[in-house]
C-alpha cells in the first residue's frame, strides 16, 4: 500500500496537469472561435467566385484555353500535406500522414518509386512523423502557419502556379483536415492543380454574357484569384480543425485527470483511515497492557 | 417585378447585400452603370470607386483596388480585394 505522502504528491502533480490541460482547452476554444469566423468570411467569397467561373466557362467558346485546367507538361507531382506545428491535438496530425502514406502506396505508387512525387510539408509535427516513416519532405512551409495571412498564402499559390506554368509540375494534390465542426475533422485529398472547373448542372439556361474587357483576360485574372483563395481557405480550414481537435483532446485529458484525482483521493482517504485505525489499535493495546500490569 | 439585388463580397467580409436602384463600377474597359434588367455581364474591375444607390435612397461608396463583377437575372455580385486603402491611394480617388 502506497503511503500517504506518495499519494498526496501524486494528487498534486495530477492537479497541476489538469490545470495545464484545462488552460490549453480554453486557449484553443478562443482560437477556434476566431478561426471559425475567418472561415465563415472566406466561404461566401470562394463560392461566389466559383459560380462566376462556372458561368464564365459555360458562356465562352470552348476553343478558348482556360489556363491551369490542363495537366502540366512536367512529370513531377507535388503532394502538399497541411497540418500543425504543434502537437497535443489527438489524431489531427497522424491522420494527414496516414492519408499521404496511402496515397504514396496506392494511387501514386509507381510515380513515387520513379521519384516523380515530391512531398511538401506544412507543419513541424508531420515533418517529424514523415521522417520516422522514411518519407522525405522536399519542401517545408512551416512558417506560413504561424501567420496565415491572405498575402503569404497567395505567395505560395503564385509560386505553385508559376512552377506549373513553366512545366515543372504535372499536378498538385493537397492533403488537409477539413473543418466539419469543433469535434469532427475530415481528412481531405483535393486536387489543386490542374484546376477542376466547377461543372454546372443547369446547362440549359445559357446566357449570352457581355464580357469585358475580353474572355481571355477575365480568365487570366479569375483563375489565379480562385487558386489563391482556394489555398487560403484550405489553410484556414486546417487551422480551425487544429484548434477544434486540440480543444476536444484537451477536454478529454482534463476529464481523465479529474477521474484520476477522484480515484487517488479515494485511496488517499482509505490509507489515512487505515493509519488512524492502526494508531488507535496501538494506543488501546498499550493502555490494556498497562492496566494488566 | 424583381429589383436588382447586389452583393459586395471581399475575402474578409460581406460589405453589402440588398436591393439597389443603381450600381456604378469601374470596369476594366471603362466605368459603367448597372440598372435593373441589365444584360448578363462579367467584367473585371480596376482601381476606383463603386457607387451604389440602395432602394432606401442611401448612396454608398466602396473603394475597389481590383475585382470582378457579374450580373445575371438581376443578381449582381461584386467580388473585390480587401478595400482598406493606404492614405496615398485614397488620395488618388
pLDDT tens by residue, A194-208: 888 877 665 545 678
Q: Is the pLDDT of residue A147 over 90?
A: no
Residues 39-68 of A with CB under 8 A from B: 41-42, 44-45, 48-49, 52, 55-56, 59
Residue A120's domain is classified under what CATH number? 3.40.1380.10
On whether both A212 and A271 belong to a single domain, the answer is: no
Q: Are residues A9 and A77 in the same domain?
A: no
pLDDT in tens, B36-87: 999 999 999 999 999 999 998 899 999 988 899 999 889 999 998 876 544 4
CA dihedral of residues A121, A123, A178, B78 (deg, nearest 10): -80
Count of CB pairs separated by less than 8 Å, A with B: 73
Residue A62 predicted with pLDDT over 90: no
pLDDT-derived band at A12, boundaries 50, 70, 90: very high
Predicted local confidence at residue A209, as pLDDT: 86
Per the structure, the complete domain to which residue A187 belongs is given by 30-248
A120 pLDDT above the threshold of 70: yes
CB count, 10 Å around CB of A80? 23
pLDDT score of A1: 53
Which residues make beta-bridge pairs with A132? none
Answer whether B11 sits within 8 Å of A150, measured CB to CB.
yes
Which of chain B's residues have a Cβ under 8 Å away from the Cβ of A39? none
Could you give the number of structural domains in chain A?
2
Do residues A206 and A253 both lie within one domain? Answer: no
* Residue labelled with grid coordinates 480568365: A219
Cross-chain residue pair B44–A55, CB shorter than 8 Å: no
Question: Does A135 lie in the same domain as A106?
Answer: yes
At A132 the pLDDT is 93
B28 touches chain A (CB under 8 A): yes
pLDDT of res. B86: 44
- Which residue stretches of chain A are H helix? 4-59, 92-105, 109-113, 124-132, 143-146, 150-165, 215-292
What pTM, to 2 d.p., does this model score?
0.85
Same domain flag for A285 and A199:
no
Q: Which of residues 47-86 of B touch A (CB under 8 A)?
A: 66, 68, 70, 72-73, 77, 79, 82
Average pLDDT across chain A, whole number: 89
Q: What number of other Cβ atoms are within 10 A of residue A159's Cβ?
A: 12
Above pLDDT 70, what percent of chain A?
Answer: 96
What pLDDT does A30 receive? 95
Answer yes or no: do A286 and A200 share one domain: no
Question: Three-class SS of residue A242?
Answer: helix
Reference A48, options B80, B20, B45, B50; nearest CA is: B80
Inform me whether the C-beta atom of residue B35 falls under 8 Å from chain A C-beta atoms: no
The pLDDT assigned to B7 comes to 93
Chosen for mutation from B10, B11, B27, B76 (greatest number of chain A CBs closer than 10 Å) is B11
Chain A: give the shortest CA distance to residue B70, in Å: 7
With cut-offs at 50, 70 and 90, classify the pLDDT of residue A177.
very high
Same domain, A140 and A276: no
Indicate yes or no: CB of B13 within 8 angstroms of CB of A41. Answer: yes
Q: Give the pLDDT score at A193.
A: 86
Asked if the C-beta of B29 comes within 8 angstroms of chain A's C-beta atoms, the answer is yes
Could you tell me the domains of chain B? 4-82 (2.60.15.10)
Distance, in Å, from the CA atom of B26 to the CA atom of B39, rounded to the nearest integer, reads 17
- Residue B44 has its nearest CB partner, among A208, A221, A229, at A221
**DSSP at B93:** -
Residue A220 sits in the same domain as residue A261:
no
Asked if B27's CB is within 8 angstroms of A212's CB, the reply is yes
Cβ of A42 and B27 within 8 Å? no
Residue A240: pLDDT above 70?
A: yes
**Burial (0-12, 13-18, 19+ Cβ within 10 Å), A177:** buried
Predicted confidence at residue A127, as pLDDT, reads 93
pLDDT of B69: 94
Residue owning grid cell 492614405:
B87
Range with lowest mean pLDDT among A143-157, A268-282, B35-49: A143-157
- Name every residue whose Cβ is closer than 8 Å to that of residue A157 and which is 6 or more positions away in sequence: A224, A227, A228, A230, A231, A232
State the CATH number of the domain containing residue A12: 1.10.287.80
Residue A126 reports pLDDT greater than 80: yes
Helix/strand/coil for B49: strand
The string over A118-152, giving b where at least 16 C-beta atoms fall within 10 Å of a residue's C-beta and e elsewhere, is bbbbbbbbbbebbeeeebebeeebeebbeebebeb
Mutate to test the interface with B, among A212, A224, A225 (most CBs of B within 10 A): A212
- Is the same domain home to A135 and A174? yes
Instruction: List CB contacts (< 8 A) between A229 and chain B.
Output: 11
Q: How far apart are CA A60 and CA A82, in angstroms?
A: 35
DSSP string, A98-156: HHHHHHHHTTTHHHHHTT-EEEEEE-HHHHHHHHHTT----EE-THHHHT--HHHHHHH
Q: Rounded CA gap, A276 and A257, in Å?
A: 28
Amino acid at each position: 500500500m502506497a503511503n500517504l505522502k506518495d499519494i498526496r504528491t501524486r494528487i498534486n502533480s495530477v492537479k497541476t496537469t489538469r490545470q495545464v490541460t484545462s488552460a490549453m482547452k480554453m486557449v484553443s476554444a478562443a482560437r477556434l472561435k476566431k478561426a471559425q469566423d475567418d472561415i465563415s468570411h472566406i466561404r461566401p467569397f470562394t463560392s461566389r467566385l466559383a459560380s462566376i467561373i462556372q458561368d464564365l466557362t459555360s458562356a465562352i467558346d470552348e476553343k478558348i484555353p482556360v489556363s491551369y485546367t490542363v495537366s502540366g507538361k512536367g512529370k513531377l507531382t507535388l503532394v502538399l500535406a497541411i497540418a500543425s506545428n504543434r502537437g497535443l491535438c489527438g489524431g489531427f496530425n497522424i491522420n494527414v500522414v496516414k492519408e499521404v502514406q496511402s496515397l504514396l502506396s496506392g494511387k501514386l505508387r509507381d510515380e513515387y518509386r520513379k521519384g516523380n512525387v515530391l512531398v511538401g510539408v506544412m507543419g513541424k509535427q508531420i515533418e517529424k512523423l514523415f521522417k520516422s516513416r522514411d518519407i522525405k519532405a522536399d519542401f517545408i512551409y512551416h512558417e506560413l502557419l504561424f501567420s496565415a495571412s491572405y498575402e503569404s498564402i497567395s505567395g505560395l499559390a503564385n509560386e505553385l502556379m508559376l512552377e506549373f506554368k513553366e512545366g515543372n509540375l504535372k499536378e498538385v494534390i493537397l492533403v488537409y483536415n477539413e473543418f466539419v465542426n469543433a469535434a469532427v475533422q475530415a481528412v481531405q485529398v483535393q486536387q489543386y492543380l490542374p484546376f477542376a472547373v466547377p461543372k454546372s448542372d443547369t446547362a440549359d439556361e445559357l446566357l449570352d454574357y457581355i464580357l469585358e474587357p475580353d474572355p481571355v483576360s477575365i480568365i487570366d485574372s479569375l483563375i489565379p484569384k480562385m487558386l489563391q483563395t482556394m489555398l487560403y481557405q484550405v489553410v484556414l480550414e486546417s487551422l480551425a480543425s487544429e484548434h477544434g481537435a486540440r480543444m476536444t483532446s484537451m477536454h478529454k485529458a482534463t476529464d481523465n485527470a479529474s477521474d484520476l484525482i477522484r480515484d487517488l483521493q479515494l485511496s488517499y482517504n482509505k490509507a489515512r483511515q487505515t493509519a488512524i485505525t492502526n494508531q488507535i489499535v496501538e494506543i488501546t493495546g498499550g493502555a490494556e497492557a498497562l492496566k494488566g500490569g | 417585378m424583381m429589383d436588382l439585388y447586389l452583393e459586395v463580397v471581399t475575402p474578409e467580409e460581406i460589405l453589402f447585400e440588398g436591393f439597389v436602384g443603381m450600381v456604378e463600377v469601374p470596369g476594366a474597359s471603362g466605368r459603367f452603370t448597372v440598372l435593373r434588367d441589365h444584360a448578363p455581364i462579367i467584367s473585371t474591375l480596376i482601381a476606383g470607386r463603386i457607387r451604389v444607390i440602395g432602394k432606401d435612397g442611401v448612396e454608398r461608396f466602396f473603394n475597389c483596388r481590383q475585382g470582378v463583377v457579374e450580373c445575371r437575372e438581376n443578381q449582381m455580385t461584386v467580388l473585390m480585394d480587401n478595400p482598406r486603402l493606404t492614405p496615398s491611394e485614397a488620395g488618388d480617388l
